[in-house]
């Protein structure tokens, strides 16, 4: 069995860590991002991997910059480093520590969607499938040689939350398959096609705003690509209206994008670009919890009428 240093931060990484433990390997150190302020009270909150590691009785190390603070990793003297959504690039000094190298569990079919938001971006782009790639780590972002790659479909019922859970589970299954090969040093690596590489950087605030001039399918993908976090929004008057789920409606309209063209008991039909229509299913008015459109139209949206516009501000 190997001595492994694990590096990860969000929920996505927890099943990978658990699998390494379940397979009987020694995790001599868990490296994760520092606690960060969260919520309205800005209370310092530990990342999910730290919570899981402490529950497992594992030592935790939280460097602000692993590039400048890696002595604890050297002292752990691992045979292998496994990372999953750690959130920092590893310097050469760390990459050269383990004899069997450093491998990363990445939530995309590399070389597509390198970067910090591969699940969000693959859905926003309307991809029919995504997957997980296990690769050797190098100093360049997500550019190492690939060791194992598996694809799964993205259905219209999926959003970033459902795909996150599916890919996290898949990553755990794949690391279980990969560890014996790493221990026996019987791996085959495939170089990435640099010409085919695309990037998925972390979602920026401005990307959360819906552009109603896009066609309905694009807006539909945008909404589910940002659900359940950070959640896309439009404006309703002078307030924000977060959009949690929708469906592409049948029919066309010549109304301007953003115009409410049909009100049903449980659907709010909005004109989009190319004369298409999107029906909103779940929304969240400012200061309220997410709710279905039926509840919304009985409360904060009760005064909405045909011809009103979303996203005017």
145-157 pLDDT tens trace: 999 999 999 999 9
> In the numeric block, which tokens belong to residue 114?
């390198």
Q: Does the pLDDT at position 136 exceed 90? A: yes
Three-class secondary structure of residue 149 per DSSP:
strand
Whether 122 has a binding-site annotation, put simply, is no
pLDDT tens-place string over residues 157-182: 999 999 999 999 999 999 999 999 99
Q: Mean pLDDT across the chain, nearest whole number?
A: 96
Is pTM beyond 0.85 here? yes
Q: How many CA atoms lie within 13 A of 206 on its CB side?
A: 0
Render pLDDT for 81-131 as a digit per residue (tens, 0 to 9).
Answer: 999 999 999 999 999 999 999 999 999 999 999 999 999 999 999 999 999
Residue 36 has pLDDT above 90, yes or no: yes
Tokens 């859905």 map to which residue? 123
DSSP three-state, residue 118? helix
CA angle 34, 143, 21 (to 5 degrees): 50
Q: Is 108 part of any known ligand binding site? A: yes
Rounded mean pLDDT of 245-268? 96
Contact between residue 36 and residue 60 where contact means Cβ atoms under 8 Å apart:
no
Residue 313 has pLDDT above 70, yes or no: no
Structure tokens at 190: 């495939």
Q: What DSSP character marks residue 198?
A: -
Digit-coded pLDDT (tens) for 259-303: 999 999 999 999 999 999 999 999 999 999 999 999 999 998 999
Long-range CB contact pairs, 35-44, < 8 A, 24+: 35/62
Q: Domains in the chain, start-ordered, CATH in brackets?
A: 3-196 (3.40.50.170), 205-309 (3.10.25.10)
Judge whether residue 256 has pLDDT over 80.
Answer: yes
312, pLDDT greater than 80: no
Residues in the chain: 313
Q: Residue 201 in 3-state DSSP?
A: coil
- What integer pLDDT is reported at residue 233 of this predicted model? 97
110 known member of a binding site: yes
Judge contact between 286 and 240, C-beta under 8 A: yes
218 assigned ligand-binding residue: no
pLDDT value, residue 270: 97
């Amino acid at each position: 069995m190997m001595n492994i240093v694990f590096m990860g931060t969000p929920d996505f990484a927890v099943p990978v860590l658990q699998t390494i433990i379940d397979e009987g390997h020694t995790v001599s150190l868990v490296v994760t991002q520092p606690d960060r302020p969260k919520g309205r009270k800005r209370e310092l909150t530990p990342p999910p991997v730290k919570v899981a590691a402490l529950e497992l009785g594992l030592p935790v190390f939280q460097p602000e910059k692993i590039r400048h603070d890696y002595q604890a990793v050297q002292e752990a003297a691992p045979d292998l480093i496994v990372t999953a959504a750690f959130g920092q690039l590893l310097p050469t000094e760390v990459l050269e520590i383990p004899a069997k190298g450093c491998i990363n569990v990445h939530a995309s079919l590399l070389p597509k969607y390198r970067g910090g938001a591969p699940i969000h971006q693959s859905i926003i782009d309307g991809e029919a499938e995504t997957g997980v790639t296990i690769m050797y780590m190098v100093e360049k972002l997500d550019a190492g040689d690939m060791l194992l790659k598996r694809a799964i479909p993205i259905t219209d019922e999926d959003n970033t939350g459902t795909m996150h859970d599916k890919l996290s589970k898949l990553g755990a299954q794949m690391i279980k398959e990969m560890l014996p090969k790493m221990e026996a040093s019987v791996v085959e690596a495939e170089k990435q096609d640099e010409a085919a590489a695309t990037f998925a950087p972390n979602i920026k605030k401005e990307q959360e705003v819906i552009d109603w001039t896009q066609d309905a399918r694009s807006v539909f993908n945008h909404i589910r690509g940002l659900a359940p976090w950070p959640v896309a929004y439009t404006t309703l008057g002078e307030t924000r209206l977060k959009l949690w789920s929708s469906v592409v409606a049948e029919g066309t309209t010549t109304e301007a994008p953003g115009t409410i063209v049909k009100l049903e008991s449980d659907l709010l039909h909005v004109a989009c670009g190319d004369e298409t229509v999107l029906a909103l299913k779940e929304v969240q008015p400012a200061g309220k919890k997410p709710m279905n459109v039926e509840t919304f139209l009985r409360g904060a949206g009760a005064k909405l009428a045909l011809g009103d516009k979303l996203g005017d501000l």
